[in-house]
A and B are shown apart, each in its own frame.
Chain A
Amino acid sequence: MSPTVTTPNELEIRVERLFDAPRTHVYSVWTDPELIPEWWGDGTVVEEMDVRPGGTYRFRTAFGVVEGEFREVEPPERLVQTFQNHLQTLEFEDLGEQTKLTQTMRFETTEQRDTTMQYGVEEGAKQGFARVDALLEKIKGGARQ
């Protein structure tokens, strides 16, 4: 069940993951405002979540406000939404007892895409910076030569 992460082109990151649950269920968990705090964590409060094309969402989290707009809403198979600096397409594929979720994040520039691939700052802030330190060393070694 471990996810796969790929960069299919210069602007995108793609995350694919299998769930042991029917598609309608996986889709409904993703779009249920009452369940959002459980997987966003950090005492998240859903201030707004209007799951319709053109509708907006706004969560208050420990890391500040996160907001965006729903662009395409096609239950139970497809969601397109803006998320901060990028566009996310979520595809829920029906595999019978299982569901495959493909999350494609599309950025405006390759630099933004690469930054998201590399950064562990928020994670570091939560869990300590040991991993970030290792990453910094690696990137410094590669980029400064």
Chain B
Amino acid sequence: MVQYPPSVDRAFAALGDPTRRAVLERLGGGSATISELAEPFGMSLTGMKKHIRLLEEAELVTTEKVGRARTCMLAPYAFEGISTWLQRLDRFAQVVERTKGAP
């Protein structure tokens, strides 16, 4: 049996819920407040706060209090996978190709 660190267990538990996956997809496009996240799901603020707390405990999301609202964002690169680096290298290769021969 493979042993994973506790944060990985929490992350898998957090990802096991379709609402929380949709929240992560939404945050992939930029940060949002809890009420902005709750609205499209027709969910109460309390319900969304609970999802956000689980995502925070899994270290997938960070939050920041701005004025009276709490802004949520994806945890910066905390869980960057190797596939992300491979995609970034692909984009890097495109830039190399495009700028080749330029002074």
Contact = CB atoms under 8 A, between A and B. Distances in A.
Interface string A100-133: 0101010000011011111111111110110010
Nearest to B23: A125
A19 B98 CA distance: 12
Nearest to A143: B2
Interface string A1-43: 1010100000001010101110001100110000100111100
Interface residues of B, number: 45
Interface residues of A, number: 53
Contact of B29 (A26, A62, A139): A62
B88 interface: yes
Given A115-B8, A122-B77, A129 B21 contact: yes
A95 interface: no
- Return the 4 tightest CB-CB contacts between A and B, nearest first: A64-B76, A125-B28, A119-B81, A39-B91
